[in-house]
Amino acid sequence: MKKLNTKLAKVLLVGLCLTSTMLPAQTTTGGKKISSDLFGLFFEDINYSADGGLYAEQVQNRSFEYSPTEQKDWNPYSFWEYTTTGYSYGRISVETNTPIHPNNPHYMVLDVEHIGKEAKFSGVSGVGLTNSGFAGMVVKANERYKFSMFARQLSNLPVSFQVSLQTAKGKVLAETRFTTVSTNWEKYTADLVVSENDENANLVVLAVSEGKVALDVISLFPEKTFKNRPNGLRADLAQLLADMKPRFIRFPGGCLAHGDGLGNMYRWKNTIGPLEQRKEQRNIWGYNQTAGLGYFEFFQFCEDIGAKPLPVLPAAVSCQNSGNTWQIGGTGQRALPLSEMKEYIQEVLDLIEWANGPVTSTWGAKRAAAGHPASFNLQYVGIGNEDKITHEFEIRFKMIFDAVKAKHPEIVVIGTVGPSPDGEDFEKGWKIANDLKIPVVDEHYYTSPEWFISHQNRYDSYKRNATQVYLGEYASWGNKMQNAIAEAAYMTSLERNGDVVRMASYAPLFAKKDYTQWKTDMVFFDNTNVCLTPNYYVQKMFSANQGDYYFSNIISKDEKDANLAVSCVKDSKSGDIILKMVNFGKETKPFKINLGKFGTLSPQAEQTVLTGNADAENTLEKPNSVIPTTTVVKIKNAFDYSAPAMSLTVIRIKAKK
Ligand code: AHR
């Protein structure tokens, strides 16, 4: 009895000592415990993924903050056209004297000298501004659009407005009217219900009475955003992410996180609170970021689709490629002065309080004020993005890491090991990880399909019960079937090594047609259409079919054929067994499956197959060249399967109820 108690105590002690980084070596019917957060999403505002993309705002340059630092010919007037109708005239100017908020310094002043009253003009006379959105606004018949604008009357007389959605030829599709009521900044809102479909509409804000008025944050959203959230996301793009059932979403980047020089680092506090108080800034990828899709919206979206939030904060250093120094080997890393580190570390700690703290805490109260009193259950925080591992990086990373660990031991910190699968930064980054016992580090690699096929054993030899891996960015160069299937083969190796590889996310995610800075992406889109690449389908087939136990020896294949890859996982929640078979070869290949060890399973299974020519790909014009097909199949405890050439097959077998 005494012995048993000591044993029990030991077991309990081991259980208590396990940090959140170590996965207990439990088994279910002989399976190996693997990460239940394995496949998730990487989101970065690159290729117009946020503004002009996932973020459903229709007005471009809504706060008159565009600047030549973003694009040489941009300025606060960009994407706005001075508009006069009915022989009216006046002046416009961008001013900065009395902004709504110091974070939002520019606003537009309309000085209307004369409203034309010529009998020969039958339309609405006025002076104002026209915005054509992100290459045209898409509006749908009978749908509601939420207009809002801040105005401050600068003349004694109130100023009246007509706000309308119009076709390119000037046909009014919806309109509203209002009159200013204050010489202070006030928000005016109205719903516009559109009479007909148009993919190229403009928003026209017309002062129709004489006077002087300041305008700012002129905004138009469809009412039908994802889950009808105000300040929400484009429903079709958000839904295709939700369909993937990702376990986490990493945001806001990528290089966007650490920024092009210190002044361009992504500072999360600038991205929360009322829109008019957020700080716009240059996007490292050569445009503007409104921060309208900010930290609150990212966290809310994660919650809406059941994904864990994974914010990545700069490690107090900027991108090594700052100032385009990638051209000479990336020497542009800048580090925050040590004298500013106390404040910066507090900013990191404040994020954790903002996400998880009680409503009575300073930052928890801000989350509650934004409409979310409950905790967001933040579990992961990334520090740094593929930074050059310099001495400056190392001391700052350690300061942040130590502070988070001391104050929030419950948070899993994810470190960084450079931009490549090997090399100097990789080695140095891993040394720091081992020395500091960082729970997880972020590996990145973009390479050829052949590399993915020939490196499927990469993680087999990684140390167990040590620092784990977040494969935060990876892709083979291309969006053809051969790229997607090479990635699928590799993903089976991530499942096999799911006790070491805790998380993985393909990158980048979105790319807007004609606004693409990074060629290989998971989903292409324009204002109305979406193209899901074969890579998307592979990611979805893995992500929506994750398990938390891995089983070897269930699927047999020709072990000498490197083009074949398999994995078998069990989702312990549903009891489902999930088989994945990959054939990167040019011919059909046989696999043998033996499910004997699982006891009684349902005789029916759902089989999804993605197959096509090696060079097949989808485009916005032809989006369905390659799509997976799903059928219900009958299975036995032991059966054979022939995998088509260049294919991924997922068979999901339900536990017998
Ligand atoms: O995913 C695109 C870019 O690739 C990311 O911003 C960066 O982290 C990596 O170099």
CA of 336 to the centre of ligand 1 (A): 22
Q: Is the CB of 386 under 6 A from ligand 1?
A: yes
Q: Is the CB of 473 under 6 A from ligand 1?
A: yes
DSSP 582-602: EE-SSS-EEEEEE-GGG-SEE
Residue whose CA lies nearest to ligand 1 atom number 9: 254
Q: Which residue has the tokens 């002690």?
A: 13
| Overall pTM surpassing 0.85 (yes/no) | yes
Q: In what order do the strands lie in the sheet with 601-611?
A: 32-33, 549-551, 564-570, 577-583, 647-655, 601-611, 629-634
CA distance 471 to 122: 63
pLDDT tens digits, one per residue of 26-66? 456 689 999 999 999 999 999 999 999 999 999 999 999 99
Q: Is the CB of 522 under 6 A from ligand 1?
A: no
Q: Kindly list the distances between the CA atom of residue 575 and the CA atoms of 29, 369, 541, 596, 650, in Å, as whole numbers in the listed order.
A: 12, 41, 18, 15, 16
Q: Is the CB of 319 under 6 A from ligand 1?
A: no
Name residues whose C-beta falls within 8 Å of residue 419's C-beta, 6 or more positions apart in sequence.
386, 425, 444
CA distance 55 to 48: 10
Rg (the chain; Cα; Å): 27
Query: What amino acid occupies position 20?
Result: S
Residue whose CA lies nearest to ligand 1 atom number 2: 508
Of the residues 265, 266, 473, which should be mutated to test ligand 1's pocket, given the most ligand atoms within 8 Å of the CB? 473
Of all atoms in ligand 1, which is nearest to the CA of residue 508?
Answer: 1
Q: Is the CB of 52 under 6 A from ligand 1?
A: no
| Burial class for 95, CB neighbours closer than 10 Å (0-12, 13-18, 19+) | middle
pLDDT tens digits, one per residue of 585-632? 999 999 999 999 998 889 999 999 999 999 999 999 999 999 999 999
Per-residue confidence (pLDDT) for residue 656, from 0 to 100: 76
Per-residue confidence (pLDDT) for residue 27, from 0 to 100: 55
Q: Is the CB of 178 under 6 A from ligand 1?
A: no
Q: Is the CB of 46 under 6 A from ligand 1?
A: yes
Q: Is the CB of 511 under 6 A from ligand 1?
A: no
CA of 386 to the centre of ligand 1 (A): 8
Per-residue confidence (pLDDT) for residue 21, from 0 to 100: 41
CA of 502 to the centre of ligand 1 (A): 20
Dihedral sign, Cα of residue 412, residue 417, residue 420, residue 421: negative
Q: Is the CB of 508 under 6 A from ligand 1?
A: yes
Of the residues 41, 250, 255, 509, which should be mutated to test ligand 1's pocket, given the most ligand atoms within 8 Å of the CB? 255
CA of 69 to the centre of ligand 1 (A): 21
Task: Cite the active site residues.
Answer: 386
* Average pLDDT of adjacent 10-residue blocks, the chain of 657 residues: 36 35 52 98 98 98 98 98 98 98 98 97 97 98 98 97 98 98 98 98 98 98 98 98 98 98 98 98 98 98 99 98 95 98 98 98 98 98 98 98 98 98 98 98 98 98 97 98 98 98 98 97 98 99 98 97 98 96 98 94 96 98 98 96 98 87
Alpha helices in 314-448 (DSSP H): 341-356, 362-369, 391-407, 424-436
CA of 631 to the centre of ligand 1 (A): 37
CA distance 224 to 5: 60
